[in-house]
Homo-oligomer: A and B are copies of this chain.
Amino acid sequence: MKIVIIGGVAGGMSAATRLRRLMEDAEIIIFEKGPFVSFANCGLPYYVSGEIANRDSLLVQTPESLKARFQLDVRPLHEVVAIEPDKKTVTVKHNGVETSETYDRLILSPGAKPFVPPIVGLQTATNVHSLRNVPDLDKIMQQITTDTKQAVVIGAGFIGLEMAENLKKRGLAVTIVEKAPHVLPPLDEEMAAFIQNELNREGILVKTNDSAVEFKENGQKIVLESGEVISSDLTILSVGVQPETTLAKAAGLTLGLRGGIVVNEQYQTSVPDIYAVGDAIVVKQQITDTDALIALASPANRQGRQVADVIAGLNRSNRGSIGTAIVRVFEQTAASTGLSERVAKQADLPVAVVHVSGKDHAGYYPGATDILLKLIFNPETGEIYGAQGIGQKGVDKRIDILATAIKGGLTIFDLPELELTYAPPFGSAKDPVNMLGYAAMNLAEGLSESIQWYQLKEEIAEGKKLLDVRNESELAQGAFPNATHIPLNKLRDRLSELDPSQEWIVSCHSGLRSYVAERILKQHGFHVKNLDGAFALYRTVLPEELVYV
């Protein structure tokens, strides 16, 4: 059998190597438009700062190594310019010459390309780059000279923030421009606020709710939607990706959501003997069972392997994706899996939310750092829709546990049951993930009621009163305006100071004491809700609403 693969990175190369392990006699040709195959595209930003010092280490495999080990015919700088399904051939362009190649099975793994918005002056701007591959990286590196002082990153998604960090570490001043109201649009606003603070702490200027509308002076000046004009020696355009499906479209393959290639569970396109995998295909978002485009390395690699299995006759299906992502931003980490609160609500799901603060390992053991976890779930069934985490250490672990829980169909009622590794350097007897389950169960079972940070102002305006149960000494960090203040440990003694006919909202620093206070008050007949995430969360996302004395 002769198998032709278009695209030699994650999905394509996974397919090729797996095919060889299953079909020793198959002829396997990989056409790659660019000069490199199997490169570490997720590592590219780290070469900018020098954190990854050796460019060769980004080139995981070469055509020669793949030939030697897997008998693969890897052809870089070969662009497939047309597919002829009727003849089962592809037309390939190399050094300006077009040739034809037959196939028995064709696998498309073209990936996603950076979305390039139609900004005025982009064509004549000489310092604006996207980052998709090694040639892009080389161009960016050439642009960075001793005269390059000011970088602008347009788009504050995962790659945008990685580029911002690495450009800063390279010594450049960095400004980020993001059209959404907050950085990291895939996360919810209050979680992203911690990352925005981290960027500010490192001296990066962040402009949200704004976007580039014009490049002037060959890109040296960027006019923003707000009217502001900023200078740039180097601009990174990172406002998202879109399926690279020009070829698929021309070949008559059925396209779906935002131009993505439609495939069935065996990765078959609408055209016989043509398969597709990776960032270019439409997948099922497993939680909502709706169409989605998920441009991530993990699903692409899995799909590449699975399509090889399918072609080799093994029983394999694409079960869909949930989408798990992580980014390190200087000393902080942000990660998410499944649906955000915003997306879950857009999908009209019955959404409840809880935030839990914890430590990456036992607080009594040196070096423990804070973790904030958010769980988005169905308060009736306990189904977990998604999770997000912020912290210096151990966020990857907690989001991986929760991603596994979602994939396994575990509910909030199962999270306390998880038996996770505990020794002082690694965790706690009650891991933050267990605590997330307990807190969610308290809501689901009606033991606790909560409001979110964005509801507080309105609830107060409607006449509810805020009780702050922090200690005196903590008020110096900032205080809620017009709050009643009784430290938790004095609450039982001073209950008579609170009006039981009043509706109350209770807060502390991180939410643990306020929950205890809520339980005390509820059992004494008060109408009371907990401010989920409490002061620590509120201070981060809405610092201007607090009073500093």
Contact = CB atoms under 8 A, between A and B. Distances in A.
B434 A40 contact: no
A1 interface: no
B328 A40 contact: no
Interface in A394-431: 395-397, 399-401, 403-405, 407-410, 414, 416-427, 429-431
B403 A420 contact: yes
B421 A335 contact: yes
Nearest to A59: B364
Nearest to A320: B417
A277 to B, nearest CB: 13
Contacts of A144: none
A314 interface: yes
Contacts of A57: 364
Tally of this chain's copies: 2
A401 B451 CA distance: 31
A99 B163 CA distance: 70
A478 interface: no
Given A337-B419, A422-B326, A430-B301, A364 B404 contact: no
A488 B66 CA distance: 12
Interface string A206-246: 00000000000000000000000000000000000000000
B400 A407 contact: no
Contacts of A438: 305
Interface of A: 10, 21-25, 40, 42-43, 46, 51-53, 57-58, 60, 68-71, 158, 162, 296-302, 305, 314, 319, 321-328, 333, 335, 337, 362, 364-366, 395-397, 399-401, 403-405, 407-410, 414, 416-427, 429-431, 434, 438, 445, 447, 488-489, 492, 515-516, 519-520, 523-524
Contacts of A335: 421
Contacts of A326: 421-423, 426-427
A410 to B, nearest CB: 5
B410 A404 contact: yes
Contact of A401 (B299, B401, B430, B515): B401
Contacts of A419: 296, 298-299, 321-324, 337, 403, 407
A366 B328 CA distance: 14
Contacts of A410: 404, 407-408
